[in-house]
Chains A and B, each alone.
Chain A
């Protein structure tokens, strides 16, 4: 791990991290799986495994799975956020292994939203 020696290096790290992420978002399908204690308890890991298996089965090479903490939607867990290149991220909830596979088939492959879509009901402060 490189030691960050001064403020300029920290800002460089920030810019690099932002560029890396922008590149990823523009090229790949990003699947964020909500895996806090609550998400794991409601089956988030199984949903992720099912989606990964389906991605593999369909031979999709451009899907990246990432994990995050709590997405705050206890009422609809497990939840995943899918971000198709050039599109706004969409959060899907109440998933199980079956609907997770369907999500890959319909949304990631064909771009058709399926199942429970959770509307964005907040403003996120970004720094």
Chain B
């Protein structure tokens, strides 16, 4: 029998309860963690429990949640804030959406618990406007909780006051960075600022603010009900609990998975994901979205946790996992992510604004076959400079896809700049599609399906492709029944 690898804590209710029915959440001991904290635990005890659990931020940074709460709790202020970062923007990531659409009350409850622990009475969820259903369900959860007296004033007769409002993100990736998020919530441009001051000291409206990610919050009611020891018994030495990943790309079982920290990439990709479709060979997996790096065959036995992924030149990130098979060109892949970050840089700091553009230009040149050997060193130098000098997390991690692919796929970069060939057959300017005369039987099929009519030849005679006109779409290769057309 198949060994079960997945353990669902943050997604414990997703797909099992009606997210729009608060009674379903009550049946899962909903709001009991909050009730227990309010009635029998002091804020300091809640923070202590969070610290002992070892929970670290699931948005990607991996900062210990209990410690963050402790810092905010230690500050005195007339108002403090709890902010939920639901601005999930990584390409191919959808963990937070699933939690918000499947189990919104767990986030609402955890925010209230955080409010109690740090002494805040107001919570704000910064959620991207592109998630209308998540917004609708979360708003209903907040309204229902308020109706039952689980938000608002005198919660559960304890005198505790806490309420939550929603703020919508307008679709800027950088607003997932906590300082840019705070700026955006205040109605300013979503631009990050240098830390310190950390939000726990001076955040939203310059008040002590805890910013936690959706998945982090979703873990909290389970931790408080089942106990910190239970949570800390799952995972690795420094990374406790589970992590939700969105498995996407060239993988058979595309989907959302939740595995204990310390699960290996091999288990995730080959046992849960069942490998690449079409019997293609696995080539690499990108963790951490545009901020992470490509991990390869040699990294498959690495137990996934925050520190191991950083040691391998990638990062945990929020949980996007994009799998690539042998047909992926790694230069083109790095270019794709750079194009994304180049579009999404806020422009405040020079290394990120101009550096991303220059990196992208160099990659573009290489994929067009105009690169030279020096380009690889230049790419590396610029990437490291950006890493060291950019203002916020977006800029500092943006070169990771370039550096990690150069590191692991130097051969492929060299093939592009020296031989002007794309080994994976992706970069169309470096390709040529040829008909093999010894195999061609002259059936005319390729000539009939070619969208630009660049194949000519008489019936039962070898056909030829007009290289000047060919757009290298590969339609003829797919259709040829004799394997007579190849990419070279």
CB within 8 Å of B: which residues of A? Answer: 1-7, 10-11, 13-14, 16-18, 20-21, 32, 34, 36-38, 40, 66-75, 81, 119-127
- Per DSSP, chain A at the interface is mixed
Nearest residue (CB) in A for B97 is: A37
Q: Could you tell me if B27 and A6 are in contact, using CB atoms closer than 8 angstroms?
A: no
Supply 14 A–B pairs (Cβ within 8 Å), ascending by A. Answer: A3-B149, A5-B149, A17-B23, A20-B23, A70-B102, A70-B256, A72-B255, A73-B253, A74-B256, A81-B15, A121-B2, A124-B8, A125-B8, A126-B12
Is B97 touching A14 in the complex (CB atoms < 8 A)?
A: no
Which of B29-37, B43-51, B429-437 lies on the face that meets chain A?
B29-37
A36-B101, A124-B12 known; A18-B27 Cβ under 8 A: yes
Closest B residue to A2 by CB, please name it: B148
CB contact between A69 and one of B14, B27, B257 (< 8 Å): that residue: B14
Does the CB pair A11–B226 fall under 8 Å?
Answer: no
Bitwise interface map of B from 316 to 351 toward A, beta carbon under 8 Å scored 1, else 0: 000000000000000000000000000000000000
Q: Is the CB of A127 within 8 A of B256?
A: no
Instruction: Given A6-B157, A7-B35, A37-B133, check contact A70 B15 (CB 8 Å).
Output: yes
Tell me which residues across on chain B come within 8 A of A34, comparing CB atoms. 15
Q: Please state if A71 and B221 are interface contacts (CB–CB under 8 Å).
A: no
CB-CB under 8 A from B134, the residues of chain A are: 37
Interface size on B, residues (CB 8 A): 58
- Name which residue of chain A comes closest to B147, CB basis: A1
Known: A3-B148, A14-B26, A125-B226. A68 touches B18 (CB 8 A): yes
Report chain A residues within 8 Å CB of B252.
Answer: 75
Partner of B94, one of A5, A6, A38, A68: A38
Question: Which residues B70-117 have CB closer than 8 A to chain A?
Answer: 94, 97-98, 101-103
State which residues 240-254 of B face A: CB under 8 Å: 248, 252-254
From the candidates B15, B32, B150, B253, name the one contacting A14 in the complex (CB within 8 A): B32
Enumerate chain B residues within 8 angstroms of A126, measured Cβ to Cβ.
Answer: 12, 28
Is B258 interfacial (CB 8 A cutoff)?
yes
Interface of chain B residues 404 through 454 with chain A (CB within 8 A): none
Convert B1-13 into 0s and 1s, putting 1 for each residue whose CB lies closer than 8 angstroms to a CB of A.
Answer: 0101111110110
Q: A10 — which chain B residues lie within 8 A by C-beta? A: 26, 31-32, 35, 156
> CA A21 – CA B254 in complex, angstroms?
32
Q: Nearest 6 pairs between A and B by C-beta?
A: A69-B102, A122-B6, A71-B15, A1-B147, A3-B149, A17-B27
With contacts A10-B156, A125-B12 taken as known, whether A1 is within 8 angstroms of B148 at the C-beta atoms is yes
Give complex CA distance A34, B98 in Å.
Answer: 11
Q: Nearest Cβ in chain A — how far from B242, in angstroms?
A: 9
A54 CA / B240 CA spacing, docked (Å): 47
CB neighbours of A68 from chain B (8 A): 14-19, 102
B368 to chain A, nearest CB (A): 34
